[in-house]
Structure 1
Amino acid sequence: LINNAVKFTEHGEVFVSVKLNVKTEEFVELVIAVNDTGVGIPQDKLNKLFKAFSQVDSSSTRQYGGTGLGLVISKRLSELMGGKIWVESKVDEGSTFYFTLQTTICDAPQSLFEPKIELLQGQHVLVVDDNANNQRILNHLLHSWNCSTSTVGSGKNAIAWLQQDNKCDVVIIDRHMPEMDGVQLAKAIHKIEKWQELPLIVLTTIDELENNLEETKFLFQASICKPIKQAHLLNMLNYVLTGVKNKRRVKTTKIDTSLAERLPLDILLAEDDIINQKISLLTLEKMGYSVDVANNGLEVLSALKEKSYDIILMDLHMPQMDGLTASKNIIEKYSVSERPKIIATTASAMYNVRKQCVEAGMDDYMTKPLQWRNLENILEKWGKICNLETDVT
Structure 2
Amino acid sequence: MWVESAGPGAGSTFFFTIEAPVAEAPPSKRSVSAGVQHELQDKRVLIVDDNATNRRVLSLQAGRWGMRPRETESPVEALRWLDAGERYDLAILDMHMPEMDGIDLARRIRVNHAGLPLVLFSSLGRREAGDTGSLFNAYLSKPIHQSQLFDTMVNLLAHEAPARPVASAAPKPQIDASMAQRHPLRILLAEDNVVNQKLALRLLQQMGYRADLASNGIEAVESVQRQVYDVVLMDVQMPELDGLDATRRICALLGPGQRPHIIAMTANAMQGDRESCIAAGMDDYLTKPIRVDRLVEALGNAPARNER
Q: Structure 1 length normalisation: TM-score? A: 0.42
Aligned to 1:320: 240
Q: Does the aligned pair in 2 maintain the 1:316–1:322 contact within 8 Å? A: yes
2:269 aligns to what SS in structure 1? coil
Displacement of 1:371: 1.2
Structure that is richer in helix per residue: 1
Task: Give the 3 Å change call, closer, same or farther, for CA 383–321 of structure 1 in structure 2.
Answer: same
| RMSD of equivalent CA atoms | 4.1
What stretches of structure 1 of length at least 5 have no aligned partner? 1-29, 36-40, 52-68, 99-131, 139-175, 178-225, 231-250
Aligned to 1:292: 212
2:62 aligns to what SS in structure 1? helix
Q: Does the aligned pair in 2 maintain the 1:313–1:344 contact within 8 Å? A: yes
Aligned to 2:283: 363
Matched, 1:306 2:226: yes
* Structure 1 residues 235-277: Cα deviation after superposition (integer angstroms, max 9, x where no partner): xxxxxxxxxxxxxxxx875210001111111101111122221
Structure of higher RCO (CA pairs closer than 8 Å, 6+ residues apart): 2
User: 2:61 is matched with which residue: 57, 69, 73?
Assistant: 73
Q: Distance in 2 between matches of 1:73 and 1:343?
A: 26
Task: Give the 3 Å change call, closer, same or farther, for CA 333–73 of structure 1 in structure 2.
Answer: same
What stretches of structure 2 of length at least 5 have no aligned partner? 1-42, 74-91, 117-132, 135-155, 161-170
Task: Give the 3 Å change call, closer, same or farther, for CA 83–342 of structure 1 in structure 2.
Answer: same
Task: Give the 3 Å change call, closer, same or farther, for CA 299–33 of structure 1 in structure 2.
Answer: same
Displacement of 1:85: 5.2
Q: Distance in 2 between matches of 1:261 and 1:382?
A: 14
Aligned to 1:265: 185
Q: Distance in 1 between matches of 2:69 and 2:265?
A: 34
Q: Does the aligned pair in 2 maintain the 1:260–1:287 contact within 8 Å? A: yes
Aligned to 1:387: 306
Percent identity reads 33
1:89-100 alignment, distance < 5 Å: 89-90=94-95, 95=102
Q: Distance in 1 between matches of 2:197 and 2:241?
A: 17
Q: Does the aligned pair in 1 maintain the 2:251–2:259 contact within 8 Å? A: yes
Displacement of 1:310: 0.7
Displacement of 1:372: 1.3
Q: Does the aligned pair in 2 maintain the 1:267–1:311 contact within 8 Å? A: yes
User: 2:54 is matched with which residue: 49, 58, 75?
Assistant: 49
2:175 aligns to what SS in structure 1? coil
Aligned to 1:33: 46
Query: How many residue pairs get matched?
Result: 193
Q: Structure 2 length normalisation: TM-score? A: 0.52
Q: Distance in 1 between matches of 2:113 and 2:205?
A: 35
Q: Does the aligned pair in 1 maintain the 2:46–2:70 contact within 8 Å? A: no
Task: Give the 3 Å change call, closer, same or farther, for CA 294–134 of structure 1 in structure 2.
Answer: farther
Displacement of 1:88: 5.0
Aligned to 2:199: 279
Displacement of 1:330: 0.6
Q: Distance in 2 between matches of 1:356 and 1:365?
A: 10
Task: Give the 3 Å change call, closer, same or farther, for CA 33–357 of structure 1 in structure 2.
Answer: same
User: 2:174 is matched with which residue: 231, 254, 277?
Assistant: 254
